[in-house]
């Protein structure tokens, strides 16, 4: 399903206490599959309680480069769920983990 240059990372963050995601998972998770040769995000999923949320989050990430500065802007402008801040933090965490994993490939 994914090519040999794919890297899988999960970013996590705390979601608000009153969020159903927190009640179900205790954390907010963002999973990304990234092609390490192009830095393109090829797949995405998040810990959500509503399938539409997952589909919308996919539309924010898939087809973009992992370091695209417009991702956070798109989240803030277009995603108005209670876990907006958690999504930004999880993305930042996933990006950090991806950069670590990619650097490890070259050493």
Which strands form 6-13's sheet, in the order they lie side by side?
6-13, 28-35, 40-46
Indicate the pLDDT class of residue 106, thresholds 50, 70 and 90.
confident
In a domain, 1, yes or no: no
- CB within 8 Å of 26: residues ≥ 6 apart: none
What domain count does the chain have?
1
Choice among 14-28, 62-76, 77-91 with the minimum mean pLDDT: 14-28
* pLDDT mean across residues, the chain: 90
| pLDDT greater than 70 at residue 77 | yes
In a domain, 105, yes or no: no
- Domain holding 46, by residue range, is 6-99
In a domain, 107, yes or no: no
Residues 20-65 pLDDT 10s: 555 555 688 999 999 999 999 999 999 887 899 999 999 999 999 9
| DSSP 8-class letter at 107 | -
In a domain, 42, yes or no: yes
Q: What is the CATH number of the domain that holds 22?
A: 3.90.1010.10
């Amino acid at each position: 399903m994914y090519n040999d240059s794919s890297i899988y990372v999960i970013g996590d963050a705390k979601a608000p206490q009153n969020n159903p995601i927190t009640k179900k998972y205790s954390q907010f998770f963002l999973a990304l599959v990234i092609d390490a040769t192009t830095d393109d995000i090829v797949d995405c999923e998040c810990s959500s309680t509503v399938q539409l949320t997952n589909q919308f989050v996919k539309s924010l990430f898939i087809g973009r480069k992992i370091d695209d500065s417009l991702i956070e802007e798109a989240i803030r402008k277009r995603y108005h769920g209670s876990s907006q801040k958690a999504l930004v933090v999880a993305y930042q965490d996933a990006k950090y983990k991806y950069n670590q994993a990619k650097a490890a490939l070259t050493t």
